[in-house]
Amino acid sequence: METLIELSKKMPKTELHLHIEGTFEPEQMFAIAQRNQVELKYNTVDALKAAYQFTNLQDFLDLYYQGMSVLLHEADFYDLTMAYLEKVHSENVVHVEIFFDPQGHLSRGVSFDVQIQGIYNALQDAEKKWGMTSKLIMSFLRHLSEESAFETLELAKPHLKWIYGIGLDSSEVGHPPEKFLRVFEACKNLGLKITAHAGEEGPPDYVWQAIEQIGVDRIDHGNRALEDDKLIEAIKQRNLTLTVCPLSNLKLCVVNDMKNHPIKNMLTLGLNATVNSDDPAYFGGYMNDNYASLINGTSISKEELFQLAKNGITGSWMEDHHKERHLKHLNALFE
Ligand SMILES: Nc1ncnc2[nH]cnc12
Ligand SMILES: [Zn+2]
């Protein structure tokens, strides 16, 4: 009998919540730092890895922004992205939707063109080599001002053919979605899809704002939506997908133990929960590790495993003919 772990490795998977800067493995970070002659605060890979003990989102973000500071040239963005794509291709991830944080690089003098060209070239090469499809999501840093988000949108305008969606990330508490109401309106008018981190640490009210005021097409995390029954109904009514990140939730103390992870509950409630890795280099695992953590930690059933993988395909922004192809493959594996 095939185990659920084996099945989870084999099945076609999508990644809908992934920060490319969060895939920076310490070994690669040191190699690029050396090549660019940038000093890191930590002297060795082991010292850096030892610092990966977080008690909340901000602890992690402080290290995440330090780590990305070695990215300067187009080749750095290409190498970072390609290393991630190679890794998840080996895990049967067939489609990725990748966030990047342009403001985290612009503030260091790295142009928008350099960032997007490096990332996009890697995505194109992955499609040519393996048929892996992708969408790129530009994310606004919510601890910065709406004005800064508007400036970033202006810089993005020559590249909109490569940008499919807009996200909202970084420090959640104190920076509600409504702070970015006007800039998201402008993004929507440009035909861009909208998603936002909401309910990771922030209260249910932030998820309400994301769906009612911003009109998001998807919700990233959404854990705290479960505190509000009316909100659960509103998410279901709009058929919104939640991009849930199990290992991230554990590492950032959003959950205290994997056995208490709410993803099973989300499925029982009829929410479109999906499995994603968020910042895998920092949180101890890529896509297959996230599934394994659920299988081992929450004892999800075969039906629930199927539902999670299916939600990942149906909740993605890939073209319909690709969805149909992957769903057929998934169904055949679970027959
Ligand atoms: N999990 C997360 N939440 C908010 N901002 C992020 N940026 C990178 N990872 C993030
Ligand atoms: Zn995230």
* 180-205 per-position pLDDT tens digit: 999 999 999 999 999 999 999 999 99
Residue 153's closest CA among 180, 121, 117, 125?
A: 180
- Domains of the chain (ranges, CATH numbers): 4-334 (3.20.20.140)
Which amino acid is present at 88?
V
Q: Compute the distance between CA of residue 294 and CA of residue 255 in angstroms, rounded to an integer.
A: 13
Q: Looking at 200, 303, 319, 335, which residue is catalytic? A: 200
Give the type of residue at 5: I
ipTM of the complex: 0.98
pTM: 0.98
Please check if 321 is assigned to a binding site: no
Distance 228 CA to ligand 1 centre (A): 23
Decide if 138 contacts 166 (C-beta within 8 A): yes
Q: Is 319 a catalytic residue?
A: no
Instruction: Say whether pLDDT at 78 is over 90.
Output: yes
Query: Largest Cα–Cα distance of the chain, in whole Å?
Result: 57
Judged by its nearest atom, the ligand closest to the C-alpha of residue 140 is 1
DSSP state at residue 37: T
| Over residues 77-84, mean pLDDT | 99
Q: How far apart are CA 214 and CA 69, in angstroms?
A: 31
Question: Is the minimum distance from the CB of 248 to ligand 1 under 6 angstroms?
Answer: yes
Asked whether the beta carbons of 266 and 242 are under 8 A apart, the reply is: yes
Q: Is 278 annotated as a binding residue?
A: yes
Distance 110 CA to ligand 2 centre (A): 22
Best residue among 52, 143, 170 to mutate for probing ligand 1's pocket (most ligand atoms within 8 Å of CB) is: 170
Cβ contacts of 150-159, under 8 Å, gap ≥ 24: 150/182, 150/183, 150/186, 152/102, 152/103, 152/106, 152/112, 153/183, 153/186, 153/187, 155/102, 155/106, 155/112, 156/102, 156/112, 159/112, 159/113, 159/116
Query: Does the pLDDT of residue 1 top 90, yes or no?
Result: no
Q: Which residues touch 215 (CB under 8 Å, ≥6 apart)?
A: 184, 188, 194
Separation of CA 286 and ligand 1 centre (Å) = 15
- Residue 1 alpha carbon to ligand 1 centre in Å: 38
Helix (H) or strand (E) segment spanning residue 83: helix 74-89
Would you say residue 26 has pLDDT above 90? yes
Percent of the chain with pLDDT over 70: 100
Is residue 170 in contact with ligand 1, taking CB distance under 6 Å?
yes
Ligand found nearest the CA of 60: 1
CA 23 to chain centre: 10
Q: How far is CA 202 from CA 68, 191, 206, 255, in A?
A: 25, 28, 6, 14
Task: Consult the annotation and say whether 19 binds a ligand.
Answer: yes
